[in-house]
Amino acid sequence: MAEEAAPVPVVVAETADVVPQSSEEALRIVLRKSLEVNGLIRGLSEVARALDRRTAHLCILAEDCEDPAYKKLVQALCKQNQVDIINVPERAKLAEWAGLAKRDRAGNIKKVFKCSSVVIKDFGERTKALDMLYEQLK
């Protein structure tokens, strides 16, 4: 007679909306959700194109960008097309949040590329982190 296997309890990951503790954490959550739904645009030419076409909802610009003309262009396009802009202190941190980091098998960050600007054209689902960012932009 075959042995009956005991049912294995399935652990369901909690999908409850996490309340961010800081604006930096809220931005990281919003970027991750946007990346999941393919709504994040990276790179100067794509960012400029999305801002010019007015498909962008939010622009994130790194303050430590090496080229002042790059920053001036992105800021001017945001102002011209009335797109909200958020400044972050480091390019490496922005690149990590935008998914531009190589990880090893253990999940540790091996290499982080630098990214000076990203644009969100689709936020994905509405989260408390997104609401927190909207409150800050008002």
Domain boundaries defined on the chain: 23-137
What CATH architecture applies to the domain 23-137?
Answer: 2-Layer Sandwich (3.30)
Spatial CB neighbours of 120, under 8 Å, sequence gap ≥ 6: 30, 31, 34, 39, 40, 41, 56, 57, 58, 59, 60
Strand bridging mode 58-62 / 40-42: unpaired
pLDDT digits (tens, 9 = 90+) for 48-89: 999 989 888 889 999 888 888 889 999 999 999 999 898 998
Give tens-digit pLDDT for 2-18: 555 555 444 444 444 67
Q: How many CB atoms lie within 10 A of CB 46?
A: 15
Instruction: Enter the DSSP assignment of 88.
Output: E
